[in-house]
Amino acid sequence: MMSFRASVPRVTGVLHLLPLPGSPRWRGDPEAISAAACRDAEAYIEGGADALILENFGDAPFTRNRVDPEVVASMARVAAALLPLLGNVPLGFNVLRNDARSALGLAASCGGSFLRSNILTGSAITDQGLIEGDAYSLLRERQRLGMAESTQIWADIHVKHAVPLGGGSIADAARDTIGRGGADVLIVSGTATGSPVDLAVLAEVREAIPEAPLLVGSGADDQNVRDLLQHADGVIVGTSAKEDGVLSAPVDPSRVRRITEAAGN
């Protein structure tokens, strides 16, 4: 397992998994899930992506708490299929909506280098209801598993598809999530999947945490990535990397290549 605590990937590609067992849209073919993820991973790697993150995107509607065991088992099965393809490309996990503990377990068992926590600190009103962060438990579990130096926690601030509870600026949330929540990397996104980030908001966060690694979590493409990287250290791409920019389509390596080249890879 590699560590990149001192830096972050310039371009991270999201592997949006097809619906997993137990979800409303599950179609009963686990091999198809792994095959689609491997196809997309190969397209990202061909296009020059620096890292990949595995996400149970097809499982909507999501739970606000711990996912069911079959979700974790299915994601581990996909990760096992991916590992021979990755080489030195780091792999991370995001278990939606906010099951960072399961993501940590996947990282521990599948060689993951990072995990994403949508709500690490504070609380937010979401389409799943009220979600409360639990940095206390997550960081202690990471320490117990001996992963504190090998597995980063990427934490969203004012995460998309949610409204933060309790007021306070995004700059305050950034400082708290790093300083009190113990996040290694911060993520700023637009309001929804694929939505662009407000450059003024991004600049505000950068000013608040000048030394902390900062990623853009949505809306990055080959047209705006240079501007985004004036403030951020990297971008997470999904929708813009798909064929014709359609979220449900396969990843297009030529679109990935345009993004990575514009990002300076």
| CB neighbourhood size of 199 (10 A) | 14
CB contact set of 192 (below 8 Å; sequence gap of 6+): 160, 161, 218
Residues listed for the chain: 265
For residue 113, pLDDT over 80 is answered with yes
* pLDDT of 4 over the 60 cut: no
Q: Are strands 162-164 and 123-126 parallel, antiparallel or unpaired?
A: antiparallel
| Low-confidence winner among 77-81, 159-163, 211-215 (lowest mean pLDDT) | 159-163
Cα–Cα distance, 195 to 131 (Å, whole number):
22
What does each C-alpha distance from 184 to 7, 74, 161, 171, 209 come to in angstroms?
Answer: 10, 27, 22, 16, 12
Q: Two tokens at 192?
A: 């929804």
Q: Which pLDDT score is estimated for 3?
A: 37
**167 pLDDT tier (thresholds 50, 70, 90):** confident
pLDDT for res 186: 97
- Read off the pLDDT of each residue in 137-144 and give the average, rounded to a whole number: 98
Residue type at 63? T
> pLDDT class for 126, splitting at 50, 70, 90?
very high
- pLDDT recorded at residue 1: 32
Kindly tell me if the per-residue pLDDT of 183 is higher than 90.
yes
Arithmetic mean of pLDDT over the chain: 95
Residue 192: pLDDT above 90? no
Confidence tier at 7 by pLDDT (50, 70, 90): confident
Q: Which amino acid is residue 223, in one-letter code? A: Q
The whole-number average pLDDT for the span 114-123 is 97
The share of the chain scoring above pLDDT 70, in percent, equals 98
> In the chain, what are the domains?
11-262 (3.20.20.390)
- The residue ranking higher by pLDDT, 192 or 235, is 235
- Of all residues in the chain, the percent with pLDDT exceeding 90 is 93
* pLDDT at residue 101, as a whole number: 98
Q: What is the mean pLDDT of residues 61-89?
A: 97
